[in-house]
Amino acid sequence: MSKTTKQTNIGNGGETHQVAGKDHETMTTQVGMPIADDQNSLKLAPRGPHLLEDQIFREKLFHFDHERIPERVVHARGYGAHGTFELTDDLSDLTRAKVLTEVGEKTEIFVRFSTVAGNKGSPDLARDVRGFAVKFYTKEGNWDLVGNNIPVFFIQDAIKFPDLIHAAKQEPDRAFPQAQTAHDNFWDFISLMPEAMHMVMWIMSDRTIPRSFRFMEGFGVHTFRLVNAAGKSSFVKFHWKPRLGVQSVLWDEAVKINGADPDFHRRDLWDAITAGDYPQWDLGVQVFDEDFAERFPFDVLDATKLVPEEDVPVRIVGTMTLDRMVDNFFAETEQVAFQTGNIVPGIDHSNDPLLQGRNFSYLDTQLKRLGSPNFNHTPINAPKCPFAHLQQDGHMAMHNPRGRANYEPNSHGLGPREDPERGFRSYEVEETGVKQRVRSETFADHYSQARQFYLSQTEVEQGHIADALIFELSKVENPAIRERVVSHLPNIDGDLAEMVADGLGLGEMPEAAIPAREVVETEPSPALSILANPPETFAGRKLGILVTDGIDGALFDDLSQAAKNAGATVEIVAEKVGGVTTSRGRTIAADQKLDGAPSVLYDAVAVLASAEGAAKLARMHSARTFLADAHAHKKFIALSDDAQNHFWSAAVPEDPDGGVHAIDSADDAEGFLKACKALRFWERDA
């Protein structure tokens, strides 16, 4: 063969075709992933069925099918930001993905946080799972890690996803309730799906009412594969750990925040990034092999299960920093299209049936939402690495193949070709079995990890779970549904079942549901608790200072400086937004008017008042509730002498406790901010 010819294998019989001409650029998917084989679809065996996970085939046919161009059904309420991911630990022993092997390399990313059940106009503090989706614009194409702030999910098989969402959304005859699960349809469905009980413990915990996107963990949920250059595979679970720690609000706060500021989470992220206080998360991986998966008491392909960090520690491999807000919400946050099928060479899917279904659903969803198979042409979705394919035409086509040949193979020597060396190859797993609709028996334990999660919580957190269940089920009109939900709880914890039954006023405990598989006793996992892992920092939080005329300006400066030293921001609240005048005639401008800034908007509060100002606050309902709510929500409180002597008893008819600090000096202010690192004074009586 001459030096000017190139040999390419084509056709079913492995024939060779001599193609004259130059070297060709590597063929990729729309998001830039190199393709190793463009001649054959992915099958279970040479004569076996085609596999649903074949993203290359599905993208190619999907685009062809729609060549001739609405609000998301779920995750409609979202907010996004740009940033970078920097790798700090080389994983080349585990994967050939460049994004995970080139230490020091900074990869552009886009993150979208969201609620799941609510519509676009719903409030931020609905009790709900939070989406945590990250798009990596890697050198080898876009990798979308489409996760949640909870590591497990409600269902095991994607065929049940429409039922889950239909049950959680507004009831179709009345179109309410909005953005909440406290209604008959949701709990009816859940009560008939024991596999959801682990997730129920999570959604009834404080995890579903986060204080901020910035104080929220993220999880890839599924078990994925890492594949190294030698073709060796390991299982992996992905974690995002917030540098500022995990923090949630109380339910009473969530209800009041939704009234005071329904954009609370959006505003928090916007304010932090625009002020240069860039939030960061560490990317961690749990890596384990087939032997561990075989020994583990639960199936690692079951999305309703997790792998405790005590069993497989999380290895931190890099850091994500969000440092730029979008230029246009619609063009970026609204039009961004995430797909679990977007992976890169060195990362692969597992046989998790929920993941396999998501791989199909996400691609199909983007066509409906964005109206064209060319949605990856939009800047927010387009890869930032070179890409080349032969897909053409359709609505929104920003670029088409150049030249005469828009097909391959061709004898013109034109267009991209697959690259067996660089291209993506699915990990080769030998699969045998009868083709059937079935659920693996290894998925049948529905209560053991739900029990483990509950027992891993502190006493305070366990109380919150019980209270949440009581509240949600109290909104259920059908007594039979309430009883059926409670019947599952003895399999999780007897005391929890008793608390919920008593809180609902059930005459007697329903007969316990019969587990499909006997509950396995597992050790508690402290890593699953928020309060057992406090951040021990007040950085990134907000101090609300209520001020009146006649205050000591020096004390105000001391407190503001102490907050700044702690890495917190300060917001000034006054009767009038014009501000106040100190005892020496200095004007301090206010950020918020008192009746529009309840204490639920702050992580800790202080009241600096003159004697006359404190007496006036004592007569104002908005001022009394500002302080009373802060106390009821177990926040740390600072009071100047006059505020304590002339205002405290009018708002909180109790003696100050360990969470209330009298401040009269710079040392007092520093001591108060040091105490605020604990975030809440949980020892305070309810």
Q: Which residues are catalytic?
A: 75, 148
Full strand arrangement of the beta sheet holding 604-608: 592-593, 569-574, 542-547, 604-608, 637-639, 660-662
Q: Residue 481 and residue 585: Cα distance in Å, rounded?
A: 64
Helix (H) / strand (E) element for 47: namely: none
Q: What ranges in 66-196 are assigned the alpha helix state H?
A: 161-168, 184-191
Backbone φ, ψ for residue 293 (5° rounding): -60, -35
Helix (H) / strand (E) element for 271: namely: helix 264-274
Question: Ramachandran region of residue 96, left (φ > 0), alpha (ψ -120 to 50) or beta?
Answer: alpha
490, 565 contact by CB (below 8 A): no
Inter-CA distances, 300 with 68, 356, 434, Å: 42, 14, 22
288, 314 contact by CB (below 8 A): no
Q: Residue 514 and residue 492: Cα distance in Å, rounded?
A: 12
According to DSSP, the residues that pair with 462 across neighbouring strands are: none
Inter-CA distances, 627 with 38, 126, 178, 571, 640, Å: 67, 24, 31, 15, 13
Euclidean distance between the first and the last CA atom of the chain, given in angstroms as a whole number: 85
Taking CB atoms within 8 Å and a gap of at least 24, the contacts of 611-616 are 611/550, 611/642, 611/645, 611/646, 612/548, 612/549, 612/550, 613/547, 613/548, 613/549, 613/550, 613/551, 613/580, 613/642, 614/548, 614/642, 614/643, 614/645, 614/646, 614/647, 615/646, 615/647, 616/548, 616/575
DSSP 318-362: EEEEEEEE-S-TIIIIIT----TT---TTEE----HHHHHHHHHH
Structural tokens at position 348: 């692969």
DSSP letter at 489 equals G
Cis peptide before 401 (omega within 30 of 0): no
43, 51 contact by CB (below 8 A): yes
Query: How far from the centroid of its chain's Cα atoms is residue 39's Cα?
Result: 38
The count of C-alpha atoms lying within 13 angstroms of the C-alpha of 157, restricted to the half-sphere facing its C-beta, is: 9
Beta strands in 116-270 (DSSP E): 130-138, 141-148, 218-219, 224-227, 233-242
Q: Residue 344 and residue 330: Cα distance in Å, rounded?
A: 27
DSSP 414-443: -S-B--TTTSB----------------GGG
- Assign 664 to helix, strand or coil: coil
Residue whose pair of structure tokens reads 């992933």 in the numeric block: 33
